[in-house]
Amino acid sequence: KLASREFKPDDTVIRIGDVTIGGEEIQVMAGPCAVESREQLLEVAEMVRERGARILRGGAFKPRTSPYAFQGLEEKGLEYLAEAREKTGLLIVTEVMDTQKVAMVAQYADILQIGARNMQNFPLLREVAKCNKPVLLKRGLSATIEEWIMAAEYIMVSGNHQVILCERGIRTFESFTRNTLDLSAVPVIKELSHLPVIVDPSHSTGKWKLVQPMARSAIAAGADGLIIEVHPKPSEALCDGPQSVTPERFSSIMEDLQKMAVAM
């Protein structure tokens, strides 16, 4: 299997310009859940860049549970992301939900995100493989590690070996947290696969207070990076406010990571 350690013993390092994912450095992808406006996005982009992030996240197409909830700014959102890249030099990661939108999203994004709800959308996996850009593949809400790796295999067998796995929590009986962060998936993936793996402490917990301790834990477990939701005013966020950290809290997380890098 293409994703397996047996097939390729050495770690895959994904390079985009001077940013590497899966190498020595810990990469942090940060930004709002959704691109809400030009002002909001440019403000967050500047804030996360100043604090050391190299990659900006932000959804323009949002997979919302309710069809009445904010669905994203669509192509306008992608334009704002591209403008934020111009202004800050940050790379862009953004979700694509529809096979017919892959080419369009790929024009703007540096990394294409496949959301948890689409982990086994096989036509979409084959389609994202066609554009020559790294793919961030989130673990499905109730996917086993084996199923998750097989989803990566779909992308790889279709010709794109640049896959980044993202543990974002799984559904369990526990309801205090939004999902249950399966941190053991990180060393398991490292054993079974050569692909980089990052952790999403925002969607896995659903609570901003838990983001910082779980971010530290993810790095201790061996993750290659993090994807964190940051919002200038979480209480006013159109999406996922309760799990979004303020820029101040984000600074504190980045300081923790610095300390851990020195200690490890």
Rounded to whole angstroms, the Cα distance separating 35 from 78 reads 8
The answer to whether residues 157 and 2 touch, using CB atoms and an 8 Å cutoff, is yes
CB of 124 vs Mn ion, minimal distance in Å:
19
Contact pattern from residue 7 through residue 46 relative to Mn ion, giving x for each residue in contact according to CB under 5 A and a dash for the rest: --------------------------x-------------
CA 109 to centroid of chain Cα atoms:
13
> Does 240 sit near Mn ion (CB under 5 A)?
yes
Q: How far is the CB of 42 from ligand PEP (least distance, A)?
A: 19
Q: How far is the CB of 9 from ligand PEP (least distance, A)?
A: 29
Q: Which is nearer to Mn ion, 14 or 238 (CB)?
A: 238
CB nearer to ligand PEP: pick between 59 and 201: 59
Of 98-106, 143-151, 186-194, 234-242, the segment contacting Mn ion by CB under 5 A is: 234-242
Q: Which of 196, 248, 200 is nearest to 25 (CA)?
A: 196
Q: Answer whether 182's CB lies under 8 Å from 140's CB.
A: no
Residues of this chain that interact with ligand PEP (CB under 6 A) are 33, 59, 63, 115-117, 138, 168, 200, 203
Q: Shortest gap between Cβ of 245 and ligand PEP (angstroms)? A: 14
Torsion angle defined by CA atoms of residues 194, 195, 198 and 200, in that order, rounded to the nearest 10 degrees: -120
> Do residues 160 and 138 make contact, with C-beta atoms less than 8 angstroms apart?
no
Quick one: 168 or 190, whose CB is closer to ligand PEP?
168
Listing DSSP states for 150-192 in one string gives HHHHHHHHTT---EEEEE--B--S--SSSSB--TTHHHHHHHH
When CB distances are held under 5 to 8 angstroms depending on the partner's kind, the choice from Mn ion, ligand PEP, none that residue 138 binds is ligand PEP
CB of 71 to ligand PEP, least distance (A): 12
Here the tokens at position 131 are 């554009």
Interface contacts to Mn ion, rule CB under 5 A: 33, 240
